Structure 1
Amino acid sequence: MLLGLRGPAGPGSGWLDRRLPLPGPRRRLRAWRRTRPFWGGLLVILGGTELLLVPLSPLTVLVSLGLGGIAAIGIGLALVAAGLFLWLLPQTRAYVSIHALLLSVLSFVATNLGGFLVGMLLGIAGSALAFGWTPAPDPEAGGEGPYVPSLDGSGPRTLAAALPVVLLASLVAGTGEARAAPAGPPMAARTPPTVTTALFAPQGFAFAGVTHVPTVDGPLKVLVLRMRAATLTDYELRSRDGREEYGLAAKRLDLSGDVTLYLTKFSGCIEGLLCVTFSPDGLPAPPVIPPFVFMTRVSAEQALVTSDVIKTDDLRLVAS
């Protein structure tokens, strides 16, 4: 009965198979595919490609997150290389799939949330399929399938030594253009002024940790936020040092270049919905922030701000 279900032409040649074109090439492709973790390698390659496409996308909403965009290119290239190794050197599947799994998990914290989870999940699924794949034994050769390892160390298996070099070269190529860390911040005011804005729209927004900035009264603990650019609408800065308050106001303030904010307090409503407050000793900011995030009703205690370019619209002095 089983033979009858497969059809009179033999195994693997069902009704649909007999009617599809190019039977010879399809048969050879099927034979080649069954001797290696094909689907696992394909998912790993797709995951790496998706990680590459996110920071390279021309859409303005898909912008890279500072160094996260550069890391996405390096990890994406490494995953594509790992997928090709799974296809071309299937005997190294355990070694390669473990590296692909580690890179996929690393992409969540080092890149754009693992390509918004899609690239990370494809890489994890592909590496799991590749690691669990087992070839049919070859009784004549006494080994795994058609690729028996050479006893003298030569042959395809020795090419697996190139995998760490490929992975390392991909990561170095992705991070080689990263800027050197900027010098330490200048001295801040004794009491940080208060900044308010109706809309805070950053580009390449990332949380860079907690540090101390010098003041005349000693070091001040601050949050460090870095970005490529930011737009602040209905911007107002007011000094809190002394009895009289004074400051600046503008309809719009544009920061661009290497922008760094040093804040003792930062509060606002994410996407205008979820209102939160961050401080050096309170709720920590996440290491990476999705590129489409904006905040409304922002209030911050700003110890320092550094930027390559600052542009304003309708700048005026305010006092009270």
Structure 2
Amino acid sequence: MSAETPAASGQFTRRREQFRAWRGTRPFWAGLFVLLAGFPIAYFPYAHLQVGHLTLAMATTAGAGSLIIGVLLGVLGISLWFQKHVQVFAGVAAILLGLVSIPVSNLGGFLVGFLFALVGGAMAIAWAPGEPPVPAPAPEAGTNAGAAPGGAFPEGPAPADDLGTNPYSTGPAQPERPSFSKGEGPGEPHDLHDLSGTSPANGANGRHSAG
């Protein structure tokens, strides 16, 4: 294999994708059917069928009319490719020309051109441009899937007594009560129920401490 084969293959793939993108933005198949409908309508009135030594001429008195209908169908098919905004007009005109070709051009090119014109015109009328898909918004980095939505709770610590800001508050904080447990440290009050260290001068019934 030559070294140019991968490059040629890549170029062919790129051209094919470009053609596919171009084809998807216009009524391509409708224009193709209308364009093909013009060939049998314009050809058969000027064709000659050879059967053995016998030549059959299928020309009719309206041969010029058949040629005009075939050319108009070809123009309408190309217009659907490059002027997609005329799709409705081109579709209606193709259907009418296909109907006129039945009495004028050998039953519309032996019904082949008539059917192609009918199908292509209907496809052109029914075609509508597609809308590009809307990309979904990407989730922000660092966010958890189960996190609460933004703005649901205020940022920063909320005051404890503000029930409107913090719905989970139980009211203002209660002040701490002094502890009267024994032996918590120097300078701290002793237990109120411990009367071992009281003296008679305090007016309480007790005993002097030993020693």
- TM bucket (normalised to shorter chain) is 0.5 to 0.7
- Matched residue, 1:136: 130
Would the aligned equivalents of 2:45 and 2:105 in 1 still touch at CA under 8 Å? no
The reply to whether residue 90 of structure 1 matches residue 80 of structure 2 is no
Look up the equivalent residue of 1:97 and give its one-letter code.
G
Alpha-carbon distance in 1 for matches of 2:117, 2:46 = 19
> Where is the strand percentage greater, Structure 1 or Structure 2?
1
Deviation at residue 131 of structure 1 after TM alignment: 1.0
Q: How does 1:143-292 map to 2 (within 5 A)?
A: none
- Matched residue, 2:71: 77
Structure number, greater radius of gyration: 2
List alignment gaps of at least 5 residues for structure 1.
Answer: 1-18, 141-320
Instruction: Give the direction of change, closer, same or farther, for the CA distance of 1:21–1:117 in structure 2 (3 Å limit).
Output: farther
Question: 1:222-258: per-residue Cα shift (whole Å, max 9, x none)?
Answer: xxxxxxxxxxxxxxxxxxxxxxxxxxxxxxxxxxxxx
Would the aligned equivalents of 1:107 and 1:120 in 2 still touch at CA under 8 Å? yes
Instruction: Give the direction of change, closer, same or farther, for the CA distance of 1:33–1:62 in structure 2 (3 Å limit).
Output: farther
- Matched residue, 1:162: none
- Matched residue, 1:22: 12
**TM score, norm. by length of structure 2:** 0.53
Would the aligned equivalents of 1:38 and 1:86 in 2 still touch at CA under 8 Å? yes
Deviation at residue 138 of structure 1 after TM alignment: 5.6
- Matched residue, 1:103: 97
**TM score, norm. by length of structure 1:** 0.36
The reply to whether residue 33 of structure 1 matches residue 41 of structure 2 is no
Deviation at residue 57 of structure 1 after TM alignment: 2.1
Look up the equivalent residue of 2:27 and give its one-letter code.
P
- Matched residue, 1:42: 32
Would the aligned equivalents of 1:54 and 1:62 in 2 still touch at CA under 8 Å? no
- Matched residue, 2:45: 55
**SS of 1:22's equivalent?**
helix
Alpha-carbon distance in 1 for matches of 2:44, 2:86 = 29
Would the aligned equivalents of 1:100 and 1:127 in 2 still touch at CA under 8 Å? yes
Alpha-carbon distance in 1 for matches of 2:72, 2:46 = 16
Question: 1:260-302: per-residue Cα shift (whole Å, max 9, x none)?
Answer: xxxxxxxxxxxxxxxxxxxxxxxxxxxxxxxxxxxxxxxxxxx
How well do the aligned residues superpose, as a CA RMSD in angstroms? Answer: 2.2
Structure 1 residue runs of 4+, over 6 Å off?
A: none
Deviation at residue 62 of structure 1 after TM alignment: 4.8
Instruction: Give the direction of change, closer, same or farther, for the CA distance of 1:109–1:32 in structure 2 (3 Å limit).
Output: same
Alpha-carbon distance in 2 for matches of 1:55, 1:36 = 32
